[in-house]
């Protein structure tokens, strides 16, 4: 009986020893084995780079287009005084189209922004074109005469009390314009010697939109 127990004990001890040896061997292998995590490589394919380039070009083009639209069509100028009432009031912010006169010439009825006598330090003056290059302008009996014919315009329905230098006929040279304010009783314009005829190179652009919120907000009537 003792021998049998002894034999079984030996077998158990042997199994235990073998199991322990296997566990030890496994632990050694685990220690020796280095954990390897494959590095993730972010690779941009050619079409990805092309797509990014296209987006970049589109963004740049959109920015340039926005800049050009603002620069040529949306230059902001403030109106000083009441010489253009009722179309414009003092302090109204207007948008000036700087590109239009590169393709065409100012026409009668246009509202323009210009620097009086080309003085760069002066505030922009905003007036309406009355006389065109080559024409003769005169104000007599409270009315405007262009080339000896009375000029009837809705904005000048009441009598012009101050003809200024236009009391005598004013001949407009090449590239010269005679301008007046709609509210001519309170306007320094081509009737005044210190303003005189406006030269084409001094015209900043055509005033086309009132950007100030209020009664006059919107397109300006030619």
The catalytic residue positions are: 83, 127
- Cα torsion for 76, 81, 86, 89, to the nearest 10°? 50
CA–CA distance, 68 with 99 (Å, rounded to integer): 10
Beta bridge partners of 112: 127, 206
CA–CA distance, 77 with 91 (Å, rounded to integer): 9
User: Pick from 69, 76, 71: which is nearest to 212 by CA?
Assistant: 76
Q: Is residue 176 within 8 Å of 198, Cβ to Cβ?
A: yes
Quote the radius of gyration of the chain (alpha carbons, Å).
Answer: 43
Q: In sequence order, which residues have a C-beta less than 8 Å from that of residue 171 and are 6 or more positions away?
A: 136
């Amino acid at each position: 009986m003792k021998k049998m127990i002894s034999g079984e004990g030996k077998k158990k001890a042997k199994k235990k020893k073998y199991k322990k040896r296997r566990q030890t061997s496994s632990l050694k292998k685990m220690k020796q084995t280095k954990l390897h995590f494959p590095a993730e490589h972010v690779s941009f394919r050619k079409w990805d780079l092309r797509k990014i380039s296209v987006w970049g070009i589109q963004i740049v083009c959109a920015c340039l287009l926005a800049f050009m639209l603002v620069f040529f069509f949306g230059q902001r100028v403030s109106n000083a005084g009441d010489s253009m009432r009722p179309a414009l009031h003092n302090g109204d912010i207007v948008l000036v189209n700087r590109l239009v006169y590169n393709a065409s010439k100012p026409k009668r009825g246009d509202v323009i922004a210009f620097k009086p006598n080309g003085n760069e330090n002066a505030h922009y003056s905003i007036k309406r074109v009355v006389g065109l290059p080559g024409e003769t302008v005169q104000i007599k009996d409270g009315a405007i005469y262009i080339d000896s014919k009375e000029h009837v315009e809705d904005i000048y329905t009441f009598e012009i009390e101050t003809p200024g230098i236009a009391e005598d006929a004013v001949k407009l040279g090449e590239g010269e314009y005679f301008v007046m304010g709609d509210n001519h009783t309170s306007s320094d314009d081509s009737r005044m010697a210190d303003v005189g005829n406006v030269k084409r190179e001094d015209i900043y652009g055509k005033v086309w939109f009132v950007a100030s919120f209020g009664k006059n907000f919107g397109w300006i009537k030619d």
